[in-house]
Structure 1
């Protein structure tokens, strides 16, 4: 039973990863077997962030509780995905299995452009690559304003769609 007044939406925030989020993201974090084909769990993604300073681990908080995770990646290592030197790539987005289906990923993606503008003001585009069979995630991204411009590439588990979000839209 929620302690919130009826009709009150939980507060969704994006924050940079901090050590106090480790327990929630490492020990009890899970995704479905189907989702495991498409994303890296936070424990693995954070290890890659520690090895590459162009990768920034981001936590999705709901009422200050970690429920999801993704990585913002920029720099030369994303040139195989986009030629734009001012693009930020979203990687490894997931929501912990018990918290899925509550709209948290959609709300996080709606917060993302402001987060990127605030912390990475030189970026003018957000991009992501998603398996074309991952229809639930495609729907979330399209609702958040990402555009499919027809770019496709072969990925480890089939064809992938490149989605774009142009920053500073008025």
Structure 2
């Protein structure tokens, strides 16, 4: 009558592989949770928001670096005193950014809304205080996209980049 040996060696090898797999799983889940909390997955977090300002402080753009495809979001443009000329602020959004978004609403309502080869030109009546423009939009494309805001009175330009998740 033959005896079969215990399969201890095989069981140890299996358990070692299982432990390695489990550690990778925990590390992956931890990284995913951390990325979500930091805002890297399209939500709101400390790494999501960004602010770009011209050296003269004529224009400041507040935007989100990471967005979700078709999720509503905002782009805030603040035109300071150097940008106001004859009671008006004129902003132009680059065509590549305008083409990759579905603009839902612009607040305040622009006096001029003109689409051309240079992009979307928006003119606003301005008082003595800085003019704050909120553009609500939904990203149309997936992947990296860039945009430029030009303040036409001073020629100040700000470029910004975003990444849109599916």
The verdict on a shared fold, with TM-score over 0.5 as the criterion, is no
Higher helix share: 1
TM-score normalised by structure 2 residue count: 0.32
Which structure would you say has the larger Rg?
2
Higher strand share: 2
TM-score normalised by structure 1 residue count: 0.31
Greater RCO (CA < 8 Å, at least 6 residues apart): 2
